[in-house]
Amino acid sequence: MKIGSFHPPQRTLMGPGPSDVSPRVLEAMSRPTLGHLDPVFVAMMDEVKALLKYAFQTGNELTMPVSAPGSAGMETCFVNLVEPGDKVIICQNGVFGGRMKENVERCGGIAVMVQDEWGRAVDPQKLEDALKANRDAKIVAFVHAETSTGAVSDAKTLAEIAHRYDCLVIADAVTSLAGSPLKVGEWKIDAIYSGTQKCLSCTPGLSPVSFSDAAVERIKSRKSKVQSWFLDLNLVMGYWGGNAKRAYHHTAPINALYGLHEALVILQDEGLENAWARHRKHHLALRSGIEAMGLAFVVPEAERLPQLNAIAIPEGVDDAAVRSMLLSDWQLEIGAGLGAMAGKVWRIGLMGHACNPRNVLLCLSALEDVLVRLKAPVKRGEALAAATGSLMA
């Protein structure tokens, strides 16, 4: 069998990620490949670091993209900061808090779980109670924007509580970076990781991370080796360091980094606060249409992520059938529920380049069409008017 070139269909990606990639990013990735130690490429690396500091709102010198997706960013934080026997308080309100637990245990640490209802923000009082009961804890970890549920937690307050008990703070910002207010420096978050495929509208495969001076000191003073050679920041810092001479560590994904650079330039040109406001505006329009249709959100409004909308599936509606029809008939992708929310919610993303009026109206039109054809209990003909009214307000 002779295999030819692969030509993917043109989809509109409105799931939990990846999101639609900006054409500017795709064009940037097609530029000539340089060597990963070429001085011109090294100069671009410094620009990526500066742009990431802006996106994270931090002055942390150790701010860089890990050469792997967001899950590797998570692992970078845990393998470098957790040593065998370390006690880590983990706030779990969805799937990704569970992955934090897995990382801690694989590092030989002790995970103390603080559980909250899925679809709700982390309760700061529960964290405080756990810290009072575990005075020997060294780290607090939580998900700022829980992708599995669409809930956002108060990272500033959680970090303040953790520091009162002399703990370092690890935060997951995979879905929040560039989509929701995030101020790493002001909130004193010690280690944070994200992904490029969400609100940055870049391709998957890179994980921006940032570490405070206190976190770097902890990494440098470890008693045991970091269990991952590839993710050991004591080694990686030699390649992503602040001087012109870089020590070879690995072959960086050169063209992917061109794409990230362009995505960050787009964010800089729009302005971070404008990007946050755009995600909020289009969420409100989508909300107006969803509610006019008679559907409901599962996360209380004050705890809702604008860029990841968890919608309750109406009684008797076949989750998989709806998503399949959206994909085949409308070329539109939305996400299924994960874990405890599997089969109970649809996750509709409004992220980065995909967060625009056209996609809001497309999603509402397509969803109404499919649900009406499946004889679901929805109101007809009201969603677009409601969303348009919100957009014009």
Give DSSP secondary structure letters for 258-283.
HHHHHHHHHHHHH-HHHHHHHHHHHH
| Start-to-end C-alpha separation, the chain | 57
- Residues above pLDDT 70, as percent of the chain: 99
Residue type (1 letter), 313: I
Nearest Cα residue to 257 out of 33, 58, 62: 33
Report the C-alpha gap between 146 and 118 in whole angstroms.
9
Report the C-alpha gap between 45 and 65 in whole angstroms.
9
Tokens of 126: 């529960």
Tokens of 117: 């209802």
Give the CATH fold of the 272-392 domain: Aspartate Aminotransferase, domain 1 (3.90.1150)
- Which pLDDT value is given to residue 237? 85
- Which pLDDT value is given to residue 242? 64
pLDDT tens sequence across 44-98? 999 999 999 999 999 999 999 999 999 999 999 999 999 999 999 999 999 999 9
Mean pLDDT, residues 328-333: 98
Three-state DSSP state, 88? strand
- Which pLDDT value is given to residue 240? 87
Exposure class string for 313-335: b at 16+ Cβ within 10 A, else e: bbeebeeeebbebbbeebebbbb
Cα dist. 313→53, 185, 297, 364, 374 in Å? 39, 39, 9, 15, 13
- Which pLDDT value is given to residue 348? 98
pLDDT classification of 1: cutoffs 50, 70, 90: very high
**Is the Cβ–Cβ distance between 310 and 299 less than 8 Å?**
yes
Sequence spans of domains, the chain = 23-268, 272-392
Within 13 A of 359's CA, how many CA atoms are on the CB side?
A: 25
Within 13 A of 191's CA, how many CA atoms are on the CB side?
A: 25
Mean pLDDT, residues 256-281: 98
Strand ranges (DSSP E) for the chain?
12-13, 62-66, 87-92, 110-115, 139-143, 145-146, 151-152, 168-172, 191-193, 207-211, 308-312, 332-333, 335-336, 345-349
pLDDT classification of 230: cutoffs 50, 70, 90: very high
pLDDT classification of 177: cutoffs 50, 70, 90: very high
- Which pLDDT value is given to residue 247? 82
Within 13 A of 207's CA, how many CA atoms are on the CB side?
A: 21
Three-state DSSP state, 2? coil
Model pTM? 0.97
Does the domain formed by 23-268 have CATH 1.10.10.10? no
**Is the Cβ–Cβ distance between 166 and 139 less than 8 Å?**
no
> What letter would DSSP give residue 341?
G
